[in-house]
Amino acid sequence: MKIFAGSSSTDFVKKMCNYLQIEPGQCETFHFSEGNTFVRIKENVRSKDVFIVQTIGLNSNDQFMELIFWIDAFKRASANSITVVMPFFSYSKADKKDEPRVSIRARVCADCLEVAGADRILTMDLHSPQIQGFFKKPVDHLAARPLLCEYILSRNLKNFVVASPDAGFTKSARKFAAYLKVPTVIGDKARFDHSENASILEIIGDVRGKNAVIVDDFTLTCGTLAETALALKKNGAEKIYAVVSHSLLSEKSLKTLEESCIEELFITDTVNNPLVKGHRKIRVISVAPLFAEAVKTICQRESLSRIFESVPPEVLKASTI
């Protein structure tokens, strides 16, 4: 088992390797002044099963190009198999032609990863489950939900509901609610008349006097979360929390968070974002142990199912919840 870190996931790989008590693979990346990226593997990988970890987010294009160069380098260095580990895959949002004459960018990325030589993909919380079908190679698709729920449970919140910020995320929100054994409410921007004034957000379901945890797969501007929180508040909710798998917050987004009525935002570390470190309203739950456990399970040729729906105790412990 040999795990290598692309430049966007060096910390993440350190955490994975700590969990597994192994050393990360030796390698290095350079970004040249004309914009080109260069990668070099610094140890023998001939006939090895290699895992290359590179998250795609915040600096997506540099990260993606670096990733396909890594794959090619491992392939030409005669690795036996190459598993691409993308804790976050930001282009997974670009999964359809929702207007004429645009690209289905997630499929383009999938094709590039495969043409470069990827043998398997390990990732987390893709924007839609159909994206697995963009790949011909096997995709192991982890969920942050069990771990995030465990964190929420560890916080001993009382009398709370799970809130979906829009109708489309309801199905996912219900899975959170089922794990947490609490009700679901739905935020919905659309009015039930035909004026379609989207500025009024309705909350479907009763939140009066209850706490609420808004769930979503990713946040960029914190806008939807803040708006939903405000609507929940107006509907009588008490304390409001939010939880997302992938956080891409800019300084401006953090200001939005600060000014919102969200008490705390729970995120994972799939995206390496120095801005969130130590932020008073943000708690980061590491999914690196979960990815490490997945890698170990793959190498032991066992089924990943057991970590899809629940959290192994040793992973829970390592995530320092």
Burial class (CB in 10 A: 0-12, 13-18, 19+), 79: buried
Q: Choose one: 229-237, 262-270, 281-289, 299-307; the region binding its own copies (CB under 8 A).
A: 299-307
Using CB under 8 A as the binding criterion, the count of chain residues that bind its own copies stands at 106
- 2-5 and 184-188 strand pairing: unpaired
182 binds its own copies (CB under 8 A): yes
Only one residue has tokens 């969200």, namely 262
Half-sphere exposure of residue 96: CA atoms within 13 angstroms, side-chain side: 6
CA nearest neighbour of 165 among 262, 286, 275:
262
Please select the residue that binds its own copies; options are 153, 154, 190, 197, rule is CB under 8 A.
190
Name which of residues 74 to 133 contact its own copies (CB under 8 A): 75-78, 90-91, 93-108, 111-112, 115-117, 120, 128-133
Half-sphere exposure of residue 46: CA atoms within 13 angstroms, side-chain side: 1
Nearer to its own copies, 3 or 318 (CB): 3
> In the structure encoding, which two tokens stand for residue 94, read together?
């670009």
296 binds its own copies (CB under 8 A): no
312 binds its own copies (CB under 8 A): no
Q: Choose one: 41-49, 229-237, 278-286, 288-296; the region binding its own copies (CB under 8 A).
A: 41-49
| End-to-end Cα separation, the chain, in angstroms | 27
Instruction: Name the minimum Å distance from CB 320 to its own copies.
Output: 26
Please select the residue that binds its own copies; options are 206, 258, 259, 314, rule is CB under 8 A.
206
Write the DSSP symbol of residue 168. G
Instruction: Name the minimum Å distance from CB 19 to its own copies.
Output: 21
Buried b (16+ CB within 10 A) or exposed e, 133-153: ebbeeebbbbbbbbbbbbbbe
Q: Measure the CA–CA gap between 122 and 112, rounded to whole angstroms.
A: 16
Nearer to its own copies, 58 or 318 (CB): 58
Name which of residues 152 to 181 contact its own copies (CB under 8 A): 161, 167-168, 170-171, 174, 177-178, 181
Please select the residue that binds its own copies; options are 23, 44, 200, 314, rule is CB under 8 A.
44
Name which of residues 134 to 153 contact its own copies (CB under 8 A): 134, 136, 138-141
Please select the residue that binds its own copies; options are 33, 156, 209, 313, rule is CB under 8 A.
33
What is the widest separation between alpha-carbon atoms in the chain?
65
Instruction: Name the minimum Å distance from CB 301 to its own copies.
Output: 4
